[in-house]
């Protein structure tokens, strides 16, 4: 059952921190906030939040404290001050960073007696408080489970594992997917644009292709996990010819061909290594090998 009387604290009231605090308030949680620039708390205070006078006071107020600031350095500056006591607090850091920073922060916080989870917000502020907002957590499962129902006020919350670095790693993996898909879409949009097709006309088709490719992932993942890549649908040496078309069309249209060339260069290397008769996911060896680029 979701206990809405659990007191919570949010430290850091940028765009994301304000959204997090607002979601806790809307769910009925007594919410204490603190921000370096205190005026950013004004509208939250008007909605019922309590503005703590100091970071130390804010930490004492909630049975759970969310920290959401620009980066880990800002978190250390805030929580590392002598007068701030972390012992017996539960801290969830939703500031973005990499996995090494997350593991270092976990050691740092645990040495000071805190129960620490690292997290990653895979969402934009307007979606916080809805199921659309996916928020990932990693660190000790009992700490997550103790606060799972409270965290549910923020969105769809998930625990990934005990390794504190996992949330950041998933964050980076998700970003890789996002930027790669967007670049692929922009390449096609630029190509069709040269033929007078506008972006809005291409977008529904591109969306259909992206959704179709997404359907392949579970089967391809099985091939990667088993280390066996039979060409059940098509072989890499067949697919590489379609990559040539991407380069030729881009060059003929006079647009940037860097992305198609990169895609083909990786496939060429896999073919040169003897994988031409296998299926596309065999390229995992290109991605998993150090020193390629």
Binding residues for ligand NAP, per CB under 6 A? 12-17, 35-37, 40, 68-71, 74, 77-78, 95-96, 121, 124-125
Q: Cβ closer to ligand NAP: 17 or 22?
A: 17
- Angstrom distance (rounded) from CA 21 to CA 87: 23
Q: Minimal distance in Å, beta carbon 20 to ligand NAP?
A: 9
- Angstrom distance (rounded) from CA 103 to CA 202: 43
> Which residue in the shown chain puts its C-beta closest to ligand NAP?
14
Q: Cβ closer to ligand NAP: 26 or 36?
A: 36
If you ran DSSP here, which 8-state letter would residue 125 be given? Answer: G
Q: Cβ closer to ligand NAP: 120 or 270?
A: 120
List strand residue ranges (DSSP E) for the chain, in order.
8-11, 31-34, 50-51, 64-67, 90-93, 115-122, 134-138, 156-159
Q: Cβ closer to ligand NAP: 6 or 101?
A: 101
- Angstrom distance (rounded) from CA 112 to CA 88: 9
Q: Cβ closer to ligand NAP: 25 or 191?
A: 25
Q: Cβ closer to ligand NAP: 55 or 184?
A: 55
- Angstrom distance (rounded) from CA 172 to CA 175: 5
Q: Minimal distance in Å, beta carbon 63 to ligand NAP?
A: 22
CA distances from 120 to 16, 25, 160, 207 (A): 11, 21, 11, 26
- Copy the structure tokens of residue 286: 């290109």
Q: Minimal distance in Å, beta carbon 4 to ligand NAP?
A: 24
Task: Please say whether the beta carbons of 12 and 95 come within 8 A.
Answer: yes
The helix, strand and coil proportions of the chain, stated in percent and rounded to the nearest 5, come to 55, 10, 30
Q: Minimal distance in Å, beta carbon 220 to ligand NAP?
A: 28
Q: Cβ closer to ligand NAP: 77 or 251?
A: 77
Q: Minimal distance in Å, beta carbon 69 to ligand NAP?
A: 4
- Angstrom distance (rounded) from CA 186 to CA 206: 10
Q: Minimal distance in Å, beta carbon 127 to ligand NAP?
A: 9
Q: Minimal distance in Å, beta carbon 90 to ligand NAP?
A: 19
Tokens 């998933």 map to which residue?
A: 170
CA angle 185, 221, 179 (to 5 degrees): 25
Q: Minimal distance in Å, beta carbon 186 to ligand NAP?
A: 21
**φ, ψ (nearest 5 deg) of residue 247:** -70, -45
- Copy the structure tokens of residue 175: 């970003």
**φ, ψ (nearest 5 deg) of residue 33:** -130, 155
Task: Please say whether the beta carbons of 155 and 131 come within 8 A.
Answer: yes
Q: Cβ closer to ligand NAP: 133 or 243?
A: 133
């Amino acid at each position: 059952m979701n206990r809405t009387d659990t007191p919570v604290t949010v430290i850091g009231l940028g765009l994301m921190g304000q959204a997090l605090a607002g979601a806790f308030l809307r769910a009925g949680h007594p919410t204490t906030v603190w921000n370096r620039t205190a005026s950013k708390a004004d509208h939250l205070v008007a909605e019922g939040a309590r503005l703590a006078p100091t970071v130390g006071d804010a930490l004492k107020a909630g049975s759970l404290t969310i920290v959401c600031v620009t980066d880990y350095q800002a978190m250390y500056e805030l929580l590392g001050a002598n007068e701030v006591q972390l012992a017996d607090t539960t801290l969830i850091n939703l500031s973005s960073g990499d996995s090494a920073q997350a593991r270092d922060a976990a050691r740092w916080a645990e040495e000071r007696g805190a129960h620490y989870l690292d997290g990653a917000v895979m969402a934009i502020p307007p979606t916080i408080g809805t199921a659309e907002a996916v928020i990932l957590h990693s660190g000790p499962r009992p700490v997550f489970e103790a606060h799972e129902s409270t965290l549910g006020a923020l969105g769809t919350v998930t625990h990934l594992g005990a390794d504190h670095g996992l949330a950041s790693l998933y964050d980076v993996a998700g970003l890789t997917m996002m930027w790669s898909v967007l670049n692929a879409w922009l390449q096609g949009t630029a190509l069709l644009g040269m033929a007078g097709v506008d972006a809005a006309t291409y977008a529904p088709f591109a969306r259909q292709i992206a959704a179709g490719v997404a359907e392949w992932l579970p089967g391809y993942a099985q091939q990667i996990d088993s280390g066996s890549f039979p060409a059940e649908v098509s072989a890499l040496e067949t697919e590489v010819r379609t990559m040539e078309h991407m380069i030729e069309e881009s060059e003929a249209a006079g647009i940037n061909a860097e992305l198609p060339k990169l895609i083909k260069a990786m496939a060429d290397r896999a073919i040169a290594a003897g994988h031409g008769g296998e299926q596309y996911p065999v390229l995992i060896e290109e991605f998993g090998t150090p020193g390629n680029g």
